[in-house]
Structure 1
Amino acid sequence: MTGRTAIVLFTRDLRVHDHPALATSCAAFDRVVPLYVLDPTLAGLSPNRDRFLHQSLAALRVALRGLGGDLVLRHGDPVAETVRLAGEVGAEAVALSADVSRYAERRAGRLRVQCQLHRLHLRFFPGLTVVEPGELTPGGGDHYRVFGPYHRAWIRQWWRDELAAPERVPLPERVPAGRLPALPAGDSPDAVVGGEEAARRQLDRWLPNLPRYGDRHDDLAADGTSRLSPYLRFGCLSPLTVANRAGDRDSAFVRQLCWRDFYHQVTAAFPDISRKAYRRGATEQWRYDGEALAAWAQGRTGLPIVDAGMRQLHAQGWLHNRARLITAGYLTKTLGLDWRDGLAVYFRWLLDGDVANNSGNWQWVAGTGNDTRPYRGFNPVRQAERYDPEGRYVRRWVPELAAVVGKAVHLPWRLPDDLRRRLDYPPPLDIPGAEPAWLR
């Protein structure tokens, strides 16, 4: 066999459009082997994400076959399987997208060692963020700890050119592609379908709503968010593509992509973001109450706006951003429970659950992360009345309260006794310490 061969190891970049590792390899090598390795250590962490992943892999295989290639699937350790396949096809190089999680860093370190031992050229490419984590650094520091200065630098930063899908993916002959894994059932009946084609359709469908995003993105009932986060998490969409299609770098929507980049550069500098408090000097005096945690996780706290959010999470594997702040704030600031316990529940259900953004946002809410006002109070009823003023979001997800009219739905414990007794809805959980004013 003559010519040069490379392996492109797919990870959280399950697309063919704007994929620097794939595009560069197809331009530089005679043959390219797209590879995805199903690591059993990651299986079962989230049935929802397993289903979304497998849907996305099926879509990626279709896209690659349309370009003359295929998606080679292997099971096992990603490093060992990559090196083994390189030997089978006579590859001289391995390309993949750089990532920031502890798992990704360990995988990268082991790949460096094994590729050196087997004389394989290893190259990491951008693609998981708009601006790579190491590109922006403040004077006197290795990363930005506060979002505001990062955002100002991010807006001014040069962005790489967006890349088209390769015209052809020249797969070597007689490479066993492997079977797609069986599609898991998942846990959320209303979860969206994974894959690049579905992602691009959702982007096209949502972009006409962009001018109203700034006014509507916090409105819980209006559901004015893009719902692109699962596709960004698995790389079915390039964040650069989304940012370019959105246009104005300083818009409210593109600002959310900047927040995503911000937490990736935080995680690159602080890989323990899922386990340890990020903020220096943070005092963690959490209590541990299994019954309260279970009631919160199941959407049975007796606080309608919190229960609505948690039930949406169960049904869709997704949660409105404002509802994420409310449910997380209630767990940490009202119940005083450890943010890591809430983080684990989110990781269990969220299609878009990733280390950088899920952990970073939980730490922000808990006051252990990048919030410049870590001790701010949190009034969930005020949040409910502001962002669901007519109670439509609550009535959708807490049907026990469907008969309660207007914003009274946010305060069912204040209803007349005869009406309250007819509701199949629990009273609010006991709050440790002094009873908050909103509960009286």
Structure 2
Amino acid sequence: MNVSVVVFTSDLRLHDHPPLRAALDGSRPVVPVFVRDPAVDRAGFAAPNRLAFLADCLRDLDTGLRERGGRLVVRHGDTVEEVCKVAAEADADEVHLAAEAGAFAHRREQRLRRALETDGRRLHVHDAVTTAVPPGAVTPASSDHFAVFTPYFRRWSQQPLRDTLAAPREVRVPDGIGSEELPSRNGAAGLSPGLAAGGENEARRRAAAWLRSGAESYEDRHDDLAGDATSRLSPHLHFGTLSPVELVHRARRTEGPGAEAFVRQLAWRDFHRQVLAARQDAARSDYRTRHDRWRSGPSAEADTEAWGEGRTGYPIVDAAMRQLLHEGWMHNRGRLLAASFLTKTLYVDWRVGARHFLDWLVDGDVANNQLNWQWMAGTGTDTRPNRVLNPLAQAKRYDPDGAYVRRWVPELAGVPGAAVHEPWKLSGAQRTALSYPDPVVDLPEGLARFKQARGLG
């Protein structure tokens, strides 16, 4: 019988998985394979939090396959070489893979196609697996991608989505295909203590619970820092334990302004992928240069260190950065605040902040992370490149009674109400009693420096 190979990458699920369903093609034997590629480590993307979450996902995927009569084959090495070895061992005639954006994935796909064709095998690449709408599916008349979100979202919303696919009932894996042991997060060093669990079962449980009870109020509460009313599904979208196509369908069935706002966030995710697919250098270079001469040297390094450790002296920024260190995740409003503070108030290169986020975020995703950082730095797709988020104004709007700050900055837990956002204004004895730093920069000074650097007066 003909055999297929399915290569899992950032699509670690059984539900709504087009490559797996196509590979099975009725009842064909199939080899589900995941390759732990050292090139990911060398590129600096093997952060401890993501490796631990990945281990959860792979174990859950293997469990799901075994419940259906199959198993997951895990290999270590160059993805192209290992997939070709597996295909040869199984005498497979075809390999199925999900399409992904980004330079690394694009090069991997090209290399794999050439190598398989040399061996007389076919590669099938499937769209709309890691995105709801594939990059390039909608384009403006004058370009190969949309550079502004609103017109993209208008077209994206009109695009028909494919139907979702049920998880297969049976998966038959040929005998004799060797596999390494599944990785485990047990004993892993450098993890955030509050890191969430990974895996498709956990993803589906979270999604069902949130769509049932959280989506309705999402429009009104998604920026409420203390309320923590976001879906927290981004790590599962990053690893593909949830299908974005299925999530859009389910949210639209839920209806209401909250569900619509959530779908808009999923569209932002696709927007960044179509930008990165068209401009792969945007992962490391300015999408739109502002000719910045970012600060460097000891002073900038000290400010950056304080920012990364959550001790800038601005409680709302420090709370967000400490949440990142503790959970490997950060509220989206916190991400915007932290990015604005580093790039606009401290005037430090967005790449420094993006690297720090990738070191800790369990949902650390090149397209979303780099392009969101560029959006906030004013070098990306933002139509207001010089906007600056004032941390005090933002704190009073999105954490009015200071509950978020007191949760993550325990030194300030005893400061009541909104006073927690400006501890330097406390009376002498109160201020002296706090083990909390003074601001690294005055906000007017930081704003003036930024405006001068951008030639704004």
Give the TM-score of the pair, scaled to structure 2.
0.92
Structure 2 letter corresponding to 1:398: V
- More moved, 150-159 vs 111-120: 111-120
> Which residue of 330, 351, 362 corresponds with 1:340?
351
| Aligned equivalent of 2:451 | none
Alpha-carbon shift at residue 433 of structure 1 (Å): 8.0
Contact map agreement 1:6 1:29 (CA 8 A) in 2: no
Aligned residue among 145, 158, 162 for 1:143: 145
> For residue 455 of structure 2, what is the aligned residue in structure 1?
none
- What is residue 242 of structure 1 aligned with on the other side? 247
Q: State the alpha-carbon separation in 2 of the partners of residues 249 and 10 from structure 1.
A: 34
C-alpha offsets along residues 97-144 of structure 1, whole Å, 9 cap, x if unaligned? Answer: 000122111111111211121111001012000011121111121010
Instruction: Give the Cα–Cα distance (whole angstroms) in 1 for the partners of residues 60 and 124 of structure 2.
Output: 25
Unaligned runs of 5+ in 1: none
CA distance in 2, matches of 1:187, 1:36: 23
1:125 corresponding residue in structure 2: 126
Aligned residue in 2 for 1:47:
48
Q: Does 1:226 align with 2:234?
A: no
The one-letter amino acid paired with 2:205 is R
2:35 partner SS: strand
Q: Quick one: which amino acid aligns to residue 46 of structure 1? A: A
**1:276 pairs with one of 273, 285, 295:** 285
| 2:403 is aligned with 1:395 | no
Q: Do residues 194 (structure 1) and 198 (structure 2) align? A: yes
Give the secondary-structure state (helix, strand or coil) at the position aligned to 1:41.
Answer: helix
Q: C-alpha displacement at 1:28, in angstroms?
A: 5.4
For residues 61 and 400 of structure 2, what CA distance do their matches in structure 1 show?
42
**Which residue identity does 1:216 align to in structure 2?**
R
TM-superposed deviation, 1:199: 0.3
- Amino acid of the structure 1 residue aligned with 2:84: V
Aligned-partner SS, 1:272: helix
Check whether the contact 1:335–1:431 (CA below 8 A) recurs between aligned residues: no
Identity %: 50
* Alpha-carbon distance between aligned partners in 1 of 2:189 and 2:237, rounded to the nearest angstrom: 22
SS of 1:16's equivalent?
coil
1:323 aligned partner, one-letter code? G
Give the alignment's Cα RMSD to 1 decimal: 1.5
Distance 1:372 1:349, change over 3 A: same
Give the C-alpha shift of residue 290 in structure 1.
Answer: 1.1
Q: How many residues align?
A: 434
* Deviation of the 1:27 alpha carbon: 1.5
Quick check: 2:102–2:367 contact (8 Å CA) kept in 1?
A: yes
**Separation in 2, partners of 1:330, 1:49:** 25
Matched with 2:453 is none
Aligned equivalent of 2:91: 90
Aligned to 2:274: 265
Alpha-carbon distance between aligned partners in 2 of 1:327 and 1:258, rounded to the nearest angstrom: 23
Give the stretch that moved more between structures: 171-180 or 98-107.
Answer: 171-180
Q: 1:436 to 1:269 in 2, by over 3 A?
A: closer
Q: Does 1:253 align with 2:255?
A: no
Contact 2:216 2:256 in 1 (8 A): no
Letter in 2 for 1:26: L
Aligned to 1:15: 13
Cα distance in 1 for residues equivalent to 2:264 and 2:444: 38
User: How far is 1:35 from its partner?
Assistant: 0.3
Q: CA deviation at 1:45?
A: 2.8
**1:287 corresponds to 2:298:** no
Output the amino acid matched with 1:30: R
Cα distance in 1 for residues equivalent to 2:103 and 2:323:
29
Alpha-carbon distance in 1 for matches of 2:256, 2:441: 45
AA in 1 matched with 2:251: A
Misfit runs of 4+, over 4 Å: none
1:205, CA displacement in angstroms? 1.5
With over 3 angstroms needed to count, the CA separation of the structure-2 counterparts of 1:435 and 1:233, relative to structure 1, is: closer
Q: Give per-residue Cα distances to partners, 1:261-317, cap 9 Å, x unaligned.
A: 0001001001122210012x4322211211111110000111100000000000000
The change in CA–CA distance for 1:284 and 1:436 in structure 2 (over 3 A counts) is closer
Contact residue 274 and residue 340 of structure 1 kept, 8 A: no
Q: Check whether the contact 2:3–2:28 (CA below 8 A) recurs between aligned residues.
A: yes
TM-score, normalised to structure 1, is 0.96
Q: Distance in 2 between matches of 1:170 and 1:435?
A: 62
1:436 shift after superposition: 5.3
Q: Is the 8 A contact 1:4 1:29 kept in 2?
A: no
Q: Which of 211, 216, 220 is the equivalent residue of 1:215?
A: 220
Instruction: Check the 8 A contact 1:50/1:186 in 2, yes or no.
Output: no
Matches within 5 A, 1:33-72: 33-43=31-41, 45-72=46-73
1:201-237 deviation digits (Å, cap 9, x = unpaired): 1111211211100000000000000000000000000
Mapped contact 2:113–2:122 kept (Cα < 8 A): no
**Runs of 5+ in structure 2 lacking a partner?**
449-457
Residue 341 of structure 2 aligns to a residue whose secondary structure is helix
Amino acid at match of 1:271: Q
Asked if 1:319 corresponds to 2:330, the answer is yes
CA distance in 2, matches of 1:295, 1:102: 33
Q: Give the aligned residue type for 2:388.
A: G
